[in-house]
Structures are given as structure tokens and as C-alpha cells.
Structure 1
């Protein structure tokens, strides 16, 4: 028997409205990384063909998925393994 919960859409709507009012939300992390990469691009430290927003989305999306999988599977990584993962992502993105 399925449980019907009609309260979820209004709660999500209120949460979105609160984020909008306070200029907060999960998108802000992507915007911060995009700004950082844009500055690095202006300084010539990353390739001129790199799209800062796409790179930020790919980087943070990859990290989010990686962390989700580790958490879901009950696995833990050492600090060294985390750094290796991050370096592999950065090497791939910023070639």
C-alpha cells in the first residue's frame, strides 16, 4: 500500500522561496567555482578554451556523485585517496 504525502510539494516550494529570498542554495557552490575558474582563465593559468561554468558543474557533480557512492556503500577514503581522486579530476578537466 503506497503512502500518499501531499505535503512534499509545498515544503519544497517554501524551501525554494527561502533560498531565493536569501540568495542561497546548492547552485551557489557552482557559481563560486565558476568565478574562481574564470579568474584563473583571465590570468592564463588554465586553457582559454575551458568553459568555467561547465568545468565547475563537472567538477562538483563528479565530487557529489563520488561522495554519494562512498556513503551509500559504507566505504571510507583516506586523505591521500581523496587527494588522488581530486587530482585525477583536475588533470582531466584542466588539460
Structure 2
């Protein structure tokens, strides 16, 4: 074992192995046995750090792919403190990268009904799931609306769905057509935010742009 590997904790090595298997072979192939073997440990060692594969999957999403969870967490205190458009661009840019990385991991769940049901129940038990992204963004938009920085007739849930749905579609198209990894996430995020915000954000929230 190299000196570098000796310096990496058991938990970190397990997550590294799980992330690699999920990216290359899909989530269905990422069994606890395979993850433990790839990390160089027994399954017993794996269960000292994680209760089940669902918890590993959620840890991979939170710690081994673009930090969408961290960005969404910061939204809780972002309302009224930052430019609305800049905040939405940051969320959208991170979501584009997040969905692009996780799409190959998640697609395997839909191959087997039992596997999908297991992960659905597991994510609910661990407080996760795909809807948490839209929920966090909607709550932020509602807060900005309450502060008078978003028009009263705008539906925050609809805006969140439009933005996050577009990000997920980017990942689908990219992987379906086998295109190179996106190199223009910043530009694409700006374009998407422009499209959904036109006429929605009041001038006081971002200067005189609209």
C-alpha cells in the first residue's frame, strides 16, 4: 500500500471506490461487496461507517460530485444578501455539473423496479431524494419574494422546476448522444437564468439589468 493510500481514511477510500463503480458501471453494480473489495476492505469494515448502500450513495452525491448540497445549504441564508441573478446562476451552474456526473450513477436504478423502490425508501429515510433540490430553490425564491425582490405573481416552484429540469435535460442529452463533457457550464447557466428570469425579478434586486 502506498504512503498516499495509508494517509486516506477507511471511509474516504470506501467513498472513492463507490463513486468510481457508480460512474463507470452504474449503481446496480455497486454492491456493498464490490465496493468493499474495490476499496480493499471487508464488508464488515464498510458497515462500520455506513448502514447500507443507500447511505453510501447519498454520501457519494454529497461528497464526491460537484457540491450541489453545499450550494443549496447556503441558500437558506442567501435571501436579501446577494444578487438574485448571481445566486441563481451559481445554483444552475453547479446543478448542470452535478446532474452530468450523477446521471450515469442513477440511471441504473430504473432497470430494476425492486432496486428503485429500495432507493426511494432509503432516500426518504435519510432525508434526501431528488425533490430536495427543487424544494431548497423554491424556498429561497419564496424568501426573495417575501422581501419584494421577486414579483408577487411569479410561482417559485415553477421557476425552480424550469431551471433544474433544464439542467437535468442537459445531462440526458449529453450522455444520450455521447457528447464531450460540457465546457461552457457558466455560459449555459447564464442563458438558462436569463430565460426564466426575464420579467420576473424586480429591478431593485439586481440593479437596472431588467
TM-score bracket for this pair, using the shorter chain length: 0.7 to 0.9
Q: Which residue of 17, 34, 38 corresponds with 2:138?
A: 34
1:13-47 Cα deviation digits (max 9, x unpaired):
11111112112111111111111111111122222
Task: Say yes or no: does 1:92 pair with 2:157.
Answer: no
Residue 122 of structure 2 is aligned to residue 18 of structure 1: yes
Deviation at 1:10, TM superposition (A): 1.8
Q: CA RMSD in A?
A: 1.8
Q: TM-score, normalised by structure 2?
A: 0.38
Bigger Rg over Cα: 2
Task: Give the deviation of 1:59 after TM superposition.
Answer: 0.5
CA distance in 2, matches of 1:41, 1:48: 6
Distance 1:10 1:37, change over 3 A: same
Runs of 4+ in structure 1 off by over 6 angstroms are none
Structure 2 residue runs of 5 or longer lacking an equivalent are: 1-110, 199-210
Distance in structure 2 (CA, Å) of the matches to 1:12 and 1:72: 21
Please point out which of 42, 51, 65 is paired with 2:155. 51
Could you tell me which residue of structure 1 aligns to residue 182 of structure 2? Answer: 77
Aligned partner of 1:68 among 172, 184, 187: 172
